[in-house]
Structures are given as C-alpha cells and as structure tokens.
Structure 1
Amino acid sequence: MANTNEYKQPIGEPVNDWTPRERPARIAIDGAHCRIEPLDVERHAADLFEAYGRASDGSDWTYLFVEPFSDFVTFRDYLNKAQASADPLHYTVIDTARGKAVGTLALMRIEPVHGVIEVGSVTFSPLLKRTRISTEAQYLLMRYAFDQLGYRRYEWKCDSLNAPSRKTAQRLGFQFEGIFRQAIVYKGRNRDTAWYAIIDQDWPLVKLAFERWLADDNFDADGVQRASLEKIRSSLV
C-alpha cells in the first residue's frame, strides 16, 4: 500500500533522520592488491603516461571526453586540471605489487543533499583492465561511498553505444535504469546516455558478492577466477 498525504495522493516513503552527507575527501583507500589515492601529478603522471602508452591504439579513449595524449607535456597539463578539480574528484589506482599507478577513476556529480554520487572518468590502462585489481578498485571506491560517507545512490553513466562499459556496469552489480536520449554533445557528436545505479538497499548483497569474488580461495594458482562475480551474486539472491 502506497503512502498517501492528506489529499489522498500517493507519496514516497519517508526517509527518517536524513541529513546531507559529507563530500568525498582526498584520502587514500587501501585494498589487498591495490590502493586508491588522490590524483597527484608529481607522483603519478609518469607512471600513468607509460601505462596508457601500452595500448595498441586509441580505442580506449573513444567514449571519454578527451582524446589520447601523444606527448607527455599535454598529458601533464590535462592531469593538472584534473587534480585541481573537486567535482569530478579524481583518484589514482596504484598496483601495490608493482608500486605503479595504472589508471584513474573519479567520484563526480556529487549531491550531498540527496546522497547521490557517480563514479566516472574511468580510465584504466592495459595494465589494469580485466584484472583482479580493476574490480577491487571499483569495490573500494563504492564501499567508501556507501559505508563511510553514507550515500543512498551510486551511479554509472556511459554512452549507450559503449558496449564494454555497459557490460562492466552490469557485471559490477549496477542495475540498468534506461536511456536518456540526446543527453550530451561531445567530440562533435551526439550521446544517448545509458543510466545504471546501485542504491543502498542493493549494497549489502553487492558488497558480499565483491568480497567473496575477491577472496583468495576464488582464484587458482594461476590467478584465474573459479566463479564469476555475476555467478556469486546470483547465488546470494
């Protein structure tokens, strides 16, 4: 039965004792295999430029708002602007075994009043993509938003034509919510935006699935997963 007001109109469920959340901070978050830390140009630029340069072509940048960087000076200028930004707030993923920066991602469109936050600008190098670390990095930032900051909604948005990003969102536990047509013009072309989200009610199951997938006993001696993240999550429902 829906809640109703004094005019017999249906209204949303009450959110008791709600207060605006804190904004995410420039802090480091340690995991078992990686560390997330605030983007620091002096410490991370050289590693990131080298890591991104391992790609065989520029296809990783097709759906980002910037093009691949052919020279270090231009790349460093871009990172300086990213480091100065509070929203998006950019973090670097450090492979702790290598001691190297291997990618970046950001918390963005931050709405403390409503408890809504988005993960975006995901720029993972070939050293990070499709690795255990890439999943752990997403988990660490998600856990920070839900468990420490207390946000109610964690969003993922991408070009609706970006099939790898859409597949990743679903693998990580985001639920598809629809297409916003002609949402953005970027790089001189239209973008229909696919929306995904995890809300606080989803988070306990999503979190448990991450933890079971990341556990050492889910990987064989060669580091190959025994059960997929989706399979583990489905088994918990």
Structure 2
Amino acid sequence: MVAQNLYGQEIGDPLPNWAGREGPHRTVFEGNYCRLEPLNVQNHGLQLFQAFSNAKDDRMWTYLPVGPFKDYPEYKKIATKFEQDQETVHYAVISKEGNRALGSLSLMRADVSNGTIEIGFVMFSPKLQKTTASTEAQFLLMKHVFDGLGYRRCEWKCDSLNAPSRNCALRLGFTFEGTFRNAAVYKGRSRDTQWFSIIDTEWQDIRKSFELWLKAGNFLEGKQNKKLAAIRNEVKESKDVKKDHVQ
C-alpha cells in the first residue's frame, strides 16, 4: 500500500532514521579469486598497461572515454589522474592466479546524502574478462557499497550500443531502468546512455546468489556448473515459496 500525506497525495516510504553515508573507502578488499587495491601507479601501472597491451586489437576501448594507449607514458598519465582523483576511487584488480594487476574499476559519483553510487570505468584486460575473478571483483565492490557503507542504490551506466556492458549488468543482477538520449559526447560520437541499478531491498538475494555462485563446488575444472542468473532465479523462487507457506 502506498503511503499518503494528510492531503491524500501518494508519497514515498518514510526514512525517519536516514542520515546520509560516507564516501567509498580507499582500502583493500580480499576475495577468493582476486583482491581489490586502491589504484597506485607505482605498484600497478606497468602491470595494467602490459595486461591491456596483450589484447589482439583495440575493441575493449571502443566504449570507454579513454584509450587505447600507444605506450606506457600515455597510459601512466591517465592512471596518475585516476590515482589522484578525489571524487572517484579507482581499484586495481589483482588476480590471485599470478598475483598481477589485470584490470581496474571504480566507485564514482557518490551521492552521500542520498546513498547512491555508480560502478564505472570498468577496464578489464582480455586475461581478466569472463573469469571468476572478474565477477568476484564486481561483487566485492557491491558488498562494500551495501554492507560496508549502507548505501540504498548502486548504479551501472553504459553506451546503449555497448552490448557486452548491457549484458554484464543484467548478468550481475542490475535492473534496466531506461535510456537517456543524447546524454554525452565522447571520442567525437554521440552517446545514448542506458541506466541500470540494484537497490538495497534487492541486495540480500543478489548477495546470496553471488556467494552460492562463487563456492568452489560450483566449478569443475574452472567451468561453472550453474550460471549466476540461474542461481539468482533459484534464490528468488525459494524465497517466494517460503512466503507462500507463511501466507
């Protein structure tokens, strides 16, 4: 039932104890397959550039506002800006297999008053893409957003033509919200931006899905037995069955 005020107008749910939240922490997040460290050029810069340079072509940069980089000094300039950015926290993704930085991602546009934040600047090298570590890296940031900081909303945005990013958002449990037309100009092109989100009331089921998917028993010779989306559906169905029994 939607709440109403004394004039009979429908209003949002009350949040009498809401007091805003902190910004994202520049700290290390440890997982089973990867570790997130605040991006540091001295520690991660060359490893990241080498990982990016191993790509067979430049397609990973098509929908990013930066790259490709012709040499390390060019990438180092961008990485230094990332490290020094006071508004966005960039994290290097360190694979436990080889203990090397293979990509980076960030928490950006933190609205501490309203408890919303965006995962962005996802720059994963080919060696990190479509791996268990890449999924766990996203999970570690989401866990920090909801469990660590107590935010109400986590956003994902991408070029509407960026099919891999759209599919990734949906796979991770984000809900598509709509398209902002002519939202930006980058690399001399117009961009329609698609918005996705996860909110706090959804997080418990999504977190459980990640935890079940990341269990060692879900993998055989490095291949997943159950897809993340399938596990998420099972968690939801199990919750619905329990709710029906209670009713």
Give the TM-score band, short-chain normalised.
over 0.9
Structure 1 position 188, deviation (Å): 1.4
Aligned residues: 236
Quick one: distance in 2 between partners of 1:190 and 1:59? 18
Higher helix share: 2
Structure 1 position 67, deviation (Å): 2.2
Q: Match for 2:224: what amino acid? A: Q
| SS at 1:86 equivalent | coil
Quick one: distance in 1 between partners of 2:128 and 2:172? 16
| SS at 1:202 equivalent | helix
Map 1:73-92; keep pairs closer than 5 Å. Answer: 73-92=73-92
Q: Match for 2:50: what amino acid? A: E
TM, length-normalised to structure 1: 0.98
Quick one: distance in 1 between partners of 2:235 and 2:33? 25
Structure 1 position 87, deviation (Å): 2.1
Q: Match for 2:233: what amino acid? A: S
Quick one: distance in 1 between partners of 2:222 and 2:2? 49
> What's the CA shift string for 1:148-187, capped at 9, x where partnerless?
1000000000000000000000000000001111111111
Quick one: distance in 2 between partners of 1:127 and 1:88? 25
Quick one: distance in 1 between partners of 2:130 and 2:97? 17
Quick one: distance in 2 between partners of 1:103 and 1:62? 16
Q: Match for 1:145: what amino acid? A: V
TM, length-normalised to structure 2: 0.94
**2:24 matched residue in structure 1:** 24
CA-atom RMSD, angstroms?
A: 0.8
| SS at 2:224 equivalent | coil
**1:228 matched residue in structure 2:** 227
| SS at 1:117 equivalent | strand
Map 1:1-237; keep pairs closer than 5 Å. Answer: 1-220=1-220, 222-237=221-236
Runs of 5+ consecutive residues of structure 1 not aligned to the other structure: none
Quick one: distance in 2 between partners of 1:120 and 1:86? 15
Quick one: distance in 2 between partners of 1:3 and 1:97? 51
| SS at 1:13 equivalent | coil
Structure 1 position 97, deviation (Å): 2.4
> What's the CA shift string for 1:73-94, capped at 9, x where partnerless?
1111111111000222101000
Structure 1 position 2, deviation (Å): 1.9
Quick one: distance in 2 between partners of 1:78 and 1:67? 9
Quick one: distance in 1 between partners of 2:86 and 2:93? 18
Structure 1 position 8, deviation (Å): 1.6
Q: Match for 2:131: what amino acid? A: T
Quick one: distance in 1 between partners of 2:217 and 2:27? 30
Q: Match for 1:95: what amino acid? A: S
Quick one: distance in 1 between partners of 2:17 and 2:207? 24
